[in-house]
Amino acid sequence: MSVLPPVRRDRIIPDLPSCFTKEAALHTKATFNPRVRRACQDDRTGTVGLKISKIIVVGDLSVGKTCLINRFCKDTFDKNYKATIGVDFEMERFEVLGVPFSLQLWDTAGQERFKCIASTYYRGAQAIIIVFDVNDIASLDHVKQWLRDALKENDPTSVLLFLVGTKKDLSSAAQYNLIEKDAIKIAKEIKAEYWAVSSLTGENVNEFFFRVASLTFEANVLAELEKTGPRKIGDVVRINNNDTNLFKNPKKSKPNCCQ
Ligand SMILES: Nc1nc2c(ncn2[C@@H]2O[C@H](COP(=O)(O)OP(=O)(O)OP(=O)(O)O)[C@@H](O)[C@H]2O)c(=O)[nH]1
Ligand SMILES: [Mg+2]
């Protein structure tokens, strides 16, 4: 018997959503991998529907990490800045190709004094979302450092990377185009998929998280098929095995390493 309510209708993903730009995408295929589609049709997705995929969101202070998550999960926007202390998380349940799929979105602190608390929660991520503010070039310059820190706790060969520019509403088209060039260059260097969003207007926020859910789901199913059958040429498996069981409550307790 299921202990969970049905997935919200606006969290159902029947097709692979498009990338933001083909210039910096994890892949540019129009549909889900055929093996994944077949596995979903034939009910051969194993434990994928029972697990939670951990997604961590990192980046400089005040770039808009919390607002991004709140826009997607609660459809709210707060114009007042309240620093995240350590970490927080939200759960989002989807249905992808008819299979239930859950993401745990970990919102981490960008402020230096809370970073050591936050970094203890980096481990076991299936995707890392690195956030910068499109109006603040310094926050883009710090992206690689955030990635280095997050990868200390994760397997670089299996984790999916996303680079997200926020506060697009505050930028003129000319300013935005300028920083986009640099951002796409960095996204390509670090092999991340690039997105630009506004949590104030909601522009691209749902599209972005649907893409994160879809690509993480696809990687999970491919990893599951890898366990149960022979690999076929052309399949890309990028996932680790640190997912959490859906029926266990993640601990929110905070370590006391920071003063
Ligand atoms: N105009 C505009 N303001 C935004 C947007 N996203 C966030 N902000 C504002 O930027 C400030 C910081 O946002 P937060 O989401 O709290 O930033 P954060 O990255 O979580 O910061 P830390 O928790 O300290 O790491 C707030 O005043 C938000 O209202 C956006 O898309 N557009
Ligand atoms: Mg925050």
Ligand 1 atom 21: residue of nearest CA? 62
DSSP class per residue in 225-241: HHHHS---TT------S
Verify whether ligand 1 is closer than 6 Å to residue 111 (CB atom): yes
Task: Tell me the C-alpha distance between 10 and 195, whole Å.
Answer: 21
- Tokens at residue 231, please? 């690999």
State the total domains in the chain: 1
The pLDDT, as a whole number, for residue 243 is 46
pLDDT in tens, 214-255: 999 999 999 999 887 655 544 555 555 454 444 444 444 444
Angle subtended at Cα 114 by Cα 109 and Cα 115, rounded to the nearest 5 degrees: 70
Q: Return the residue whose CA atom lies nearest to atom 14 of ligand 1.
A: 64
CATH number of the domain bearing residue 91: 3.40.50.300
pLDDT value at residue 233: 47
Structure tokens at 22: 């083909």
The ipTM is 0.99
Is residue 7 situated within a structural domain?
A: no
The pLDDT of residue 31: 98
Domain that holds residue 43: 14-226
pLDDT beneath 70: ranges in the chain:
1-3, 229-259
Ligand 1 centre from 170 Cα, in Å? 12
The CA-based angle 22-28-29, given to 5 degrees, is: 155
Q: Which atom of ligand 1 is nearest to the CA of 201?
A: 31
> Burial of 207 by CB count in 10 Å (0-12 exposed, 13-18 middle, 19+ buried)?
middle
Decide if 241 is inside a domain. no
Rounded to whole angstroms, how far apart are CA atoms 36 and 28? 16
Task: Say if 150 falls within a structural domain.
Answer: yes
> What pLDDT was estimated at residue 33?
97
